[in-house]
Amino acid sequence: MSDYKSMTSEEIVATRKQHMLPSVNHWFRKPLHVAKASMQWVWDTEGKKYLDAFGGIVTISAGHNHPRIKKRMMKWIEEDRPQHTTVFFLSEPVAELAARVAKLTPPGLKRAFFTNSGSEANEMAILLARQYTRRTEIIALKHAYHGGTVGTMSLVAQHTWKWGGHAGQDRGVHRRADPGRRRLRDSAEGVLPAHPRDREEVRRHLYLG
């Protein structure tokens, strides 16, 4: 990998700063410059090998270049098979995936709506909840990250991710403590139930409106 030809790490950082929004800057002073990746392993431009315990961000945590996924993708590409998730064309993969998901979900959950990101999925969850209940109140966890859209950022309580563009955007959002282990108490059965105060807060807000 030492003969890897690419922009230097410094050039990439400089180009990103010039042409990309600061909200997608890296969190590290010296981000790892990955030149190759396979499953749980990544290699930098000097050929040094690393074990990646992260494996991908939330909804795409399938590892790098998973051979089974890669083989299926290459097969469809080589055969010029269409893969379309919009309503313009009929496409076999999206229908097949929806049917397979239905087999894995609990009884009564048999229809899928595919999105491109967790932000979109959470936006749809908010929309469905409000459409079904005809209410606008939302309970969100205090220390959770819900996405990067206006709607999902209005749920976030952390100032680094919170949407503050318009006053009142988070109206109707109630933030409650997350069920972290430090906030829970032991029981004789080994179960860790939520603190009574936290349960009461959630119960009270479930019946708003």
> Does the pLDDT value for residue 186 go beyond 60?
no
Q: Answer with the residue of higher pLDDT: 188 or 104.
A: 104
Kindly report the backbone phi and psi dihedral angles of residue 125, in degrees, each rounded to the nearest multiple of 5, phi listed first: -65, -40
Per-residue pLDDT of 156-174, as tens digits, reads 877 777 665 555 667 788 8
Candidate CATH numbers 3.30.1490.190, 3.90.1150.10, 3.30.70.2190, 2.40.160.40; the one for domain 9-69: 3.90.1150.10
Q: Kindly indicate the confidence band of residue 209, based on its pLDDT and cuts at 50, 70 and 90.
A: very low
Q: Stretch 126-155: mean pLDDT, rounded?
A: 86
E-strand ranges in 64-137 read none
- Burial, 156: exposed, middle or buried (Cβ in 10 Å; 0-12, 13-18, 19+)? buried
Residue located via tokens 């003969």? 3
Mean pLDDT in the chain?
80
Q: Stretch 179-204: mean pLDDT, rounded?
A: 60
Using an 8 Å Cβ cutoff, are 16 and 8 in contact?
no
> Does the pLDDT value for residue 38 go beyond 60?
yes
Identify the pLDDT of residue 204: 67
CB proximity list for 5: less than 8 A, separation 6 or greater: none
Identify the pLDDT of residue 122: 92
Torsion angle in degrees (nearest 10) through CA of 37, 41, 42, 43? -110
Using an 8 Å Cβ cutoff, are 133 and 207 in contact?
no
Domain boundaries, the chain: 9-69, 83-114, 118-206
Using an 8 Å Cβ cutoff, are 98 and 112 in contact?
yes
Q: Stretch 78-89: mean pLDDT, rounded?
A: 79
- The first and second tokens of residue 14, run together, are 């400089």
- The first and second tokens of residue 153, run together, are 């950022």
Using an 8 Å Cβ cutoff, are 115 and 121 in contact?
yes
- The first and second tokens of residue 160, run together, are 């680094």
Report the distance separating Cα 97 and Cα 195, nearest Å: 40
Identify the pLDDT of residue 91: 82
> Does the pLDDT value for residue 51 go beyond 90?
yes
